[in-house]
Copies of this chain bind each other. A is one copy, B any other.
Amino acid sequence: MEIPQIIETIEADLQSIGYKSEPKNLYEPIDYSLQKGGKRMRPFLVAITYLMYKDQINDVLPLCRSIEVFHNFTLLHDDIMDKAPLRRGEPTVYKKWNENIAILSGDVMLVQAYQYLLDLKPEKLHKLMQVFNEGAIKVCEGQQMDMNFEEESSVKVEEYIEMIYLKTAALLDHAMEMAALYAEASSEDIEKIKSFARNIGIAFQLKDDLLDAFGDAAKFGKQVGGDIIANKKTFLLLKAMELSNPEQKKQLDYWLSVSDQAEEKVKEVIHIFNEIGIPKLTEELIKKYFNEGMDSLRSISSNKPEKEKLANYVELLMQREK
């Protein structure tokens, strides 16, 4: 099955979810959140994992739904916690409605994510739920670590990598494990798929961090340096703190204490990042995770063309410049 066709099938399935109409302000935000789109990366990864072993995409669609609804549940709650006004260019649920509604609609979505698992083969349910729960807990732990880092003065690079694994990569890891289990892949293949998901997930997040500071702003009409303005402890900043000489350290500390002069702050911090060679170091680390992930993917036993298509898909995603 071709990639666009897979994504269309997933999209059509998500669009077909019929929500109850009452209470309106409980179900409208769910509909709004799910129909807004996005890349559908997570359900796509679920589907293609399954298609590396089996032929019928329809059999795995409930799992795709479950993972996408779970992911959107985390967005509803995270956007409250991160006070994020916009998502995919539209007001977030808590901004468009209010916090209480975003909490409660999110809760319903989490229950629904479990509900969709019931549309899979019942004899697989116990094992799938075990993996799902482990992943769900990791995502919450990652979000808590991320919030804690804002208050902590010394965060280590390894702690940051652990946090982005939990917050971002763990859902890919566990979702793809579920798909592989459901497709009855061998336990060796499942380990390799998990390793792929883990490494690619971390590489994606590091790439996001890099693009936030060094992306082509003019080309994509995005503000550059949002993380820098917010003093976000990304890999870039943590590594720069670690490698800076006393003068650079002093300057970084100064700019971290500045909360106005956003444009100047971004320019100066990027200047220091460049002096220290942060872009190259980040690129190298991304490459390391990416290559490790791709090696894991190549070593799995599936001979179906979907394996190569998955490789191409992540290659393309890694080349994005926004």
Contacts and interface: CB of A to CB of B under 8 A. Distances in A.
Interface string A87-120: 0000000000001110110111011101101100
A33 interface: no
Contacts of A117: 129
B114 A148 contact: no
A255 to B, nearest CB: 27
Interface stretch (A139-147, A182-190, A274-282): A139-147
A226 to B, nearest CB: 20
Given A103-B81, A103-B103, A143-B104, A111 B130 contact: no
B23 A107 contact: no
Given A23-B144, A107-B110, A126 B129 contact: no
Contacts of A100: 80-81, 147
Contact of A114 (B22, B108, B122, B133): B133
B125 A111 contact: no
A75 interface: no
Nearest to A143: B104
B81 A140 contact: no
A136 B115 CA distance: 11
Contacts of A299: none
Given A77-B104, A126-B122, A148 B25 contact: yes
A104 B118 contact: no
A161 to B, nearest CB: 16
Tell me the number of copies of this protein. Answer: 2
A26 interface: yes
Contacts of A126: 118, 122, 125
A141 B105 CA distance: 9
A118 B111 contact: no
Contacts of A141: 22-23, 26
A129 B143 contact: no
B23 A108 contact: no
Given A114-B129, A118-B129, A104 B140 contact: yes
Nearest to A102: B103
A155 interface: no
Given A104-B77, A125-B125, A140 B118 contact: no
Given A80-B103, A115-B133, A141-B26, A110 B110 contact: yes
Given A25-B144, A145-B23, A137 B111 contact: yes
Contacts of A101: 144
Contact of A148 (B23, B80, B106): B23
Interface of A: 22-23, 25-26, 77, 80-81, 99-101, 103-104, 106-108, 110-112, 114-115, 117-118, 122, 125-126, 129-130, 133, 136-137, 140-141, 143-145, 147-148
